[in-house]
Chains A and B, each alone.
Chain A
Amino acid sequence: MADTLQILKCGVRFDPPALVLNYKDRKTGKLRSRSMPLRNFNKNSGIDRIMQELESNPRHSKFIRLMSPAQLQRLLTIVKDKLNGLSLEASIARNNLMDQINPEENLNKVDPEILQRKKLLMDSSFEKKRIKPGDPQFEYNVEVDFDEVAIETSNWDSDNSEIDF
């Protein structure tokens, strides 16, 4: 049933905190708006838990499912930043940083919420590249020998940050 709904826009409202979704009902062609209050949300709430609650809420889940998890997490983080006194501009800048994968950033040390956010981003490109059972090209055992002749040394080994292996 959710397939008949098409998401157009999503955003947040701060006072009182709520997620707002504009969508189109393909069956009737009507444009509609849905607002989902974030009732027990405060500056200490775990985003993870709030996401799970929304996803299992019988009234909201079919709308929540229209959003990508990465987007949902971003919006909830913006609301939480606001509750913590951060300006909208500062929060958006911070969130844009979190939505980038920096090849030099050590994810072993970051806050679990940031790690989760990065994994959600990686997940969307993983899903694009994924060949799964049922796909015509799927094979369980894919063995490929890469040409040894064309090989060059990775420049990851030649820069001065090299530690002695």
Chain B
Amino acid sequence: MSTNSQPDYDKPGDEGEERVKIICLGDSAVGKSKLVERFLMDGYKPQQLSTFALTLFNYKTQIDGKTVSVDFWDTAGQERFNSMHPSYYHQAHACVMVFDCTRKITYKNLPEWLKDLRTYRPEIPCLCAANKIDEDMDTTKKSFAFAKKNNMPFYYVSAANGTNVVRLFKDSIRAALAYKHNSTDFMDEIMKELENFELDPIPSKVKDKEKETEKITQEKS
């Protein structure tokens, strides 16, 4: 894959829409592909027998009344594919970093992924997700130092039952747009959001989420 075969994400798309690129990173078999497929819902594909080096999923959405075209880049965690990294990172606006909460090694490898990411994209926002919580709900009672230390918003997710998958990817799109519009201030912004996360269980920044969140909060109480 060569860099010049990529769309230019700094330019608007054919219909003038804004374009962003979001990349997924993490060890092999943590569930990166299943998470993207669960978010996009274009039917679970029949199980993919061989792991392809790269899959690109396009997703169009409306944010604040404007059309945004999002490309999710999904690559295999296996080392034999690592030679493609520079073009994988090229122009990325945000990163979703995933580990498997049933396999410790995938958590221990996160610093390596982050180091790699920061070599090519020192500033872009990075969101961290613990996947497969359906296998071990106790995970959701635990905090993980890696995300905190590196100022990453953190999500407990399951591609199998859908928990927080839409939230993770919607937040990644907002983070990508915020970065694109104002790269320098972005880390401050995400830190503010992180604080809000902890103080206030109802994320107030996203209007159309409020109803659903309220429903869940009511059911809990």
Q: Which A positions have Cβ atoms within 8 angstroms of B? A: 48, 51-52, 69, 101, 103-109, 112, 115-116, 118-120, 122-123, 125-126, 129-133, 138-148, 150-154, 156-157, 161, 163-165
Contacts and interface: CB of A to CB of B under 8 A. Distances in A.
Contacts, number: 132
Contacts of A116: 49-51
Nearest to A149: B141
A142 B176 CA distance: 22
Interface in B89-109: 102-105, 107-109
Contact of B167 (A52, A126, A143): A143
Contacts of A101: 102-103
Interface string B20-44: 0000000111000010000001001
A146 B51 contact: no
B58 interface: no
A165 B146 contact: yes
Contacts of A105: 103, 105
Contacts of B110: 165
Contact of B143 (A145, A154, A165): A154
A145 B160 contact: no
Give the residue among A116, A133, A139, A157 with the most B Cβ atoms within 10 A: A157
Identify the 6 closest CB pairs spanning chains A and B, nearest first: A129-B160, A154-B142, A146-B140, A129-B134, A141-B166, A142-B162
Interface stretch (B5-13, B119-127, B209-217): B209-217
Contact of A165 (B34, B111, B198): B111
Contacts of B29: 107, 115, 118-119, 122
Contacts of B47: 69, 119-120, 123
B109 A106 contact: yes
Contact of B77 (A51, A107, A120, A138): A107
23 contacts: A48-B49, A52-B49, A69-B47, A104-B104, A107-B28, A107-B29, A107-B77, A108-B27, A108-B77, A108-B79, A119-B47, A129-B161, A133-B41, A141-B162, A143-B166, A143-B213, A151-B142, A151-B143, A153-B145, A154-B143, A154-B144, A165-B146, A165-B149
A65 B165 CA distance: 32
B166 A140 contact: yes
A146 to B, nearest CB: 4
A156 B107 contact: yes
A50 to B, nearest CB: 12
A108 B109 contact: yes
Given A143-B216, A165-B146, A165-B150, A151 B141 contact: yes
